[in-house]
Amino acid sequence: MSHYHIKHLEEYYQVYRKSIRNPEIFWEEIAEEHFMWRKKWDKVLDWDFSKPEIKWFDGAKLNITENCIDRHLNTQADKTAILFEPNNPDEGAEHISYKQLHERVCRFANVLKSKGIQKGDRVCIYLPMIPELAISVLACARIGAIHSVVFAGFSANALATRINDAECKMLITSDGSYRGQKTIDLKGIVDEALESCASVESVLVVQRIKSDVNMKSGRDEWLQPLLDQADKTCEAEIMDAEDPLFILYTSGSTGKPKGMVHTTAGYMVYTAYTFKNIFQYKDKDVYWCTADIGWITGHSYIVYGPLCNGATTVMFEGVPNYPDFGRFWDIVEKHKVNQFYTAPTAIRALAKEGIEHIEKHDLSTLKVLGTVGEPINEEAWHWYDDNVGKRKSPIVDTWWQTETGGIMISPIPFATPTKPTYATLPFIGIQPVLMDEDGKPVKANQVDGRLCIKFPWPSIARSIWGDHQRYKNTYFSAFKNMYFTGDAAFRDEVGYYRITGRVDDVIIVSGHNLGTAPIEDAINEHPAVVESAIVGYTHDVKGNALYGYITMKDTGESRNQDNVRQEINQIITEQIGPIAKLDKIQFTKGLPKTRSGKIMRRILRKIASNDTSNLGDTSTLLNPEVVEEIIKGYLK
271 binding ligand PRX? (CB under 6 A): no
Instruction: Figure out which of the listed residues 128, 144, 294, 375 binds ligand PRX, where binding follows CB under 6 A.
Output: 375
String of DSSP letters for 294-311: TSHHHIIIIIIHHHHTT-
Least Å distance, CB 277 to ligand PRX, is: 16
Do residues 510 and 348 make contact, with C-beta atoms less than 8 angstroms apart?
no
Number of residues near ligand PRX (by CB under 6 A): 21
Kindly state the helix (H) or strand (E) to which residue 516 belongs, with its residue range.
helix 516-523
Nearer to ligand PRX, 246 or 400 (CB): 400
- The single residue among 401, 416, 463, 588 that binds ligand PRX, judged by CB under 6 A, is 401
DSSP for residue 524 = T
Give the C-alpha distances (Å, rounded to integers) separating 541 from 295, 340, 370, 511.
20, 20, 18, 10
82, β-bridge pairs: 96, 313
* Contact between 127 and ligand PRX per CB under 6 A: no
Q: How far is the CB of 447 from ligand PRX (least distance, A)?
A: 18
Shorter beta-carbon distance to ligand PRX: residue 399 or 455: 399
Q: What is the dihedral of CA 320, 294, 137, 202, to 10 degrees?
A: 120
C-beta of 450 vs 526, nearer to ligand PRX? 450
Please report whether residue 423 would count as binding ligand PRX according to CB under 6 A: yes
3-state helix, strand, coil in the chain (%, to 5): 35, 25, 40
Window contacting ligand PRX (CB under 6 A); options: 307-315, 353-361, 368-376, 620-628: 368-376
Shortest Å distance, C-beta 451 to ligand PRX: 8
Residues between 485 and 524 that touch ligand PRX (CB under 6 A): 485-487, 499, 502, 508, 513
Q: Which range, of 78-86, 372-380, 514-522, 570-578, touches ligand PRX by CB under 6 A?
A: 372-380
Cβ–Cβ < 8 Å for 261, 462 = yes
305 binds ligand PRX, rule: CB under 6 A: no
Do residues 249 and 148 lie in contact, with contact meaning Cβ atoms separated by under 8 Å? yes
Chain centroid to CA 534: 22
Q: Which is nearer to ligand PRX, 399 or 475 (CB)?
A: 399
Q: In this chain, which residue has its C-beta nearest to ligand PRX? A: 402
**Segment interacting with ligand PRX (CB under 6 A) among 87-95, 142-150, 172-180, 371-379:** 371-379
Tell me which stretch binds ligand PRX (CB under 6 A): 119-127, 161-169, 373-381, 425-433: 373-381
Residue ranges with strand state E in 345-476: 368-372, 395-398, 432-435, 447-453, 463-464
Binding of ligand PRX by 206 (CB under 6 A): no
533 binds ligand PRX (CB under 6 A): no
Q: 79 burial class (0-12, 13-18, 19+ CB within 10 angstroms)?
A: middle
DSSP string, 583-609: SEEEEES---B-TTS-B-HHHHHHHHT
Amino acid at 369: L
Q: Is 373 in the site for ligand PRX (CB under 6 A)?
A: yes
Q: Which residues bind ligand PRX (CB under 6 A)?
A: 250, 296-297, 372-375, 397-402, 423, 485-487, 499, 502, 508, 513
